[in-house]
Structure 1
Amino acid sequence: MTTATTAVDRAPDPWTGRDDGHGPGNLRWHHAVGLDEDRAGPCEVAFVGFRSDEGVRRNKGRPGAADGPRALRGALASMALPAPVRALDVGDVEVGDGDLEDGQHRLGRAVASLVDGGRLVVVLGGGHEVAYGSYLGLADSRALREGGRLGVLNLDAHFDLRDDARPSSGTPFLQMARSEEERGRRLNYRVLGVSQPSNTERLFHTADELGVRYLADTECGPLDVERVDAFLDEFLAGCDVVHLSIDLDVLPAGAAPGVSAPAAYGVQMEVVERVCTKVAASRKLAVCDVAELNPQLDIDHRTARAGARLIHRIVTCTRTPVRPA
């Protein structure tokens, strides 16, 4: 029998953090996370880390995102919970030998097992190559095998549709599109926060050819919430199972300095959190991955705290399994 723990390389470390005492009024994340899949029982959310710099390295970015899972766990651990949450951490898939493709497939096996167990899966990246591994898991999940319509929403300054000879952090969504074509489907892919100066005309052309819908960062300000909501409503109406991919470089550099490519403009945290809340509240979210946190480049743990805040918001807004076991 395939379980998530058979696909990971590193067992999870215990979650630790501030402790104000026992009782439901003092709950924090580190109280809620179990580490044993066999004993976890019914859980609302499962964490799996993807320790990879290989995709960023191939994409000529600044390595360091392999330490992102540890930093995200550390930032989340002491956050206070408004109500009990049952969570599982199965550990990390590690890409340490340059074999990115093998790591993505192992992540996919872990994700598929957890999704089929009725859990919302939060994948802690890693470079944005994590998104293709998450997709492989969803593509092999029971929900899609039984005909569920997949929707992929990327919060990102970049399309990540590069047509490169070797897969990287810049190629995952083109890989998804080609994989969906092989399965006789068209990828329902949307991007919120695209930065025009960060994407060549060739990438915009590729997006148009694939039917990608997107909003530019300049169209996602605090005064544009009606436009953003309409964009999300149309997306959510067209799918049954959602893969939400959050590249932290969608945020302004002041909020997320610890990424490979900090944003000169970016989408404000209040808007990104509103998007995450709306997607989580739809009850269609199956997998969320958080990518590109590079602790070596972070300042005062701002980027780690921003990513952890978004994870916290998503889980506390979902609160129920996406699909029954």
Structure 2
Amino acid sequence: MNIDLIGFPMDLGADRRGVGMGAAALRIAGIKDKLADLGYAVDDLGDVLVPNREDQAVNNVKLKFMPQIAEASRNLAQMFQDSLMQNHLPLCLGGDHSIALGSIAGLAAACRRKGMIPGLIWIDAHPDANTEQTTPTGNIHGMALSASLGLGHPDLVQLFGFGPKIRPENCTVIGVRSIDPLEKENLQQLGVTVFTMTDIDRMGIGAVIELVLNTVCPRSDSLHVSFDLDALDPSFAPGVGTPVPGGLTYREAHLIMEAIAETHMMVSMDVAEVNPVLDIRNQSAEVAAGIVASCLGKRIF
């Protein structure tokens, strides 16, 4: 299989600066070589153009930089769709988690053209299910999941010409440990299955990922994995903008990815919130690159 790396240095969706250098940090961590060592033909398509934050104005404090994010996300969606229509696997290197707006839109568009049903596994400390009515910050990286599922501002929900992108019953969230009160209501309204860290502590990560795959896979024939590095505990990945203690361990994250790889259903992926400014000697990017390799078939034995 061919893998297309697409950098998306998006930092307009969050308040903490530095995440726009995440794609470069992942490249420095050797993500291309790690995937090539698994036998893939890997092509780095470069970066999607993202406007310089200092040159942009905020017109709506509840939807910060929405026009700029939407425009860049449409370009990303087109690249994802083109890659998938060539039967390549697009891998987006971010960037704050608003990157998922474009990557999921591109996947959904390709699936519509191929007559396929997309599924989504969202791995994150935060469910990113706010809207302009519920957001405490106005940051769009906290709205990417809800918009992809059909809830939120029309310019986000209908990005790339249609919406919703994913049926809520075909989406599962793993690793949540920080959620806003009204955001919880949005998830309940959508009917999304959420596994919190409490669920993982009680059940064990093996049982959780088995439930996830037994729920999502029978309802879909292609998977997108949206991986936010802050799903991991900060002791393993300190270089993220919104760290929350009590996250996934290094091995739990790898087990999730190894189980996904065994389905042979993943067709696209994004990696979000790698922030080298907050990192220690690129430790977090190296961890993220290794976890991506596990999702694409790397095994211990």
Q: How many residues align?
A: 269
Correspondence 1:144 to 2:112:
yes
- Matches of residues 1-16 of structure 1 in structure 2 within 5 Å? none
Give 2:173's aligned amino acid: V
Name whichever of 99-108 and 270-279 sits farther off.
270-279
Match of 1:126 in 2: 95
Which sections of structure 2, spanning at least 5 residues, go unmatched? 57-67, 151-156
Structure 1 residue 306: Cα displacement: 1.1
Structure 2 CA distance for aligned equivalents of residues 140 and 87 of structure 1: 23
Structure 1 segments (4+ residues) deviating >6 Å: none
Structure 1 CA distance for aligned equivalents of residues 34 and 223 of structure 2: 26
Structure 2 CA distance for aligned equivalents of residues 62 and 83 of structure 1: 34
Q: Is the 8 A contact 2:108 2:166 kept in 1?
A: no
Structure 1 residue 121: Cα displacement: 1.2
Correspondence 1:295 to 2:253:
no
| Match of residue 85, structure 1, among 4, 19, 40 | 40
Give 1:194's aligned amino acid: V
| Match of residue 190, structure 2, among 204, 210, 217 | 210
What is the CA deviation profile of residues 115-172 of structure 1, one whole-angstrom value per residue up to 9, with x for unaligned ones? 111111110000000001101111221x333331111111001110111276711111
Q: Is the 8 A contact 2:124 2:228 kept in 1?
A: yes
What is the CA deviation profile of residues 179-235 of structure 1, one whole-angstrom value per residue up to 9, with x for unaligned ones? 48846973322110011xx21221111101101001111222494422332222222
Q: Describe the shift of the 1:275–1:144 C-alpha distance in structure 2 as closer, same or farther (beyond 3 A).
A: farther
Match of 2:83 in 1: 114
Give 1:164's aligned amino acid: E
Match of 1:176 in 2: 148
Q: Describe the shift of the 1:184–1:153 C-alpha distance in structure 2 as closer, same or farther (beyond 3 A).
A: closer
Structure 2 CA distance for aligned equivalents of residues 270 and 158 of structure 1: 20
Q: TM-score, normalised by structure 2?
A: 0.83
Counterpart of 1:94 in 2: which secondary structure? coil
Q: Describe the shift of the 1:182–1:253 C-alpha distance in structure 2 as closer, same or farther (beyond 3 A).
A: closer
Q: Describe the shift of the 1:303–1:183 C-alpha distance in structure 2 as closer, same or farther (beyond 3 A).
A: closer
Match of 2:22 in 1: 68
Q: Describe the shift of the 1:312–1:186 C-alpha distance in structure 2 as closer, same or farther (beyond 3 A).
A: closer
Q: Percent identity?
A: 27
Which sections of structure 1, spanning at least 5 residues, go unmatched? 1-42, 319-325
Q: Is the 8 A contact 2:108 2:165 kept in 1?
A: no
Q: Describe the shift of the 1:92–1:137 C-alpha distance in structure 2 as closer, same or farther (beyond 3 A).
A: same
Pick the structure with greater CA Rg.
1
Q: Describe the shift of the 1:212–1:183 C-alpha distance in structure 2 as closer, same or farther (beyond 3 A).
A: closer
Match of 1:190 in 2: 172
Q: Describe the shift of the 1:44–1:55 C-alpha distance in structure 2 as closer, same or farther (beyond 3 A).
A: same
Name whichever of 124-133 and 280-289 sits farther off.
280-289
| Match of residue 261, structure 2, among 280, 284, 288 | 280
What is the CA deviation profile of residues 5-26 of structure 1, one whole-angstrom value per residue up to 9, with x for unaligned ones? xxxxxxxxxxxxxxxxxxxxxx
Q: Is the 8 A contact 1:76 1:309 kept in 2?
A: no
- Aligned alpha-carbon RMSD (Å): 2.3
Q: TM-score, normalised by structure 1?
A: 0.77
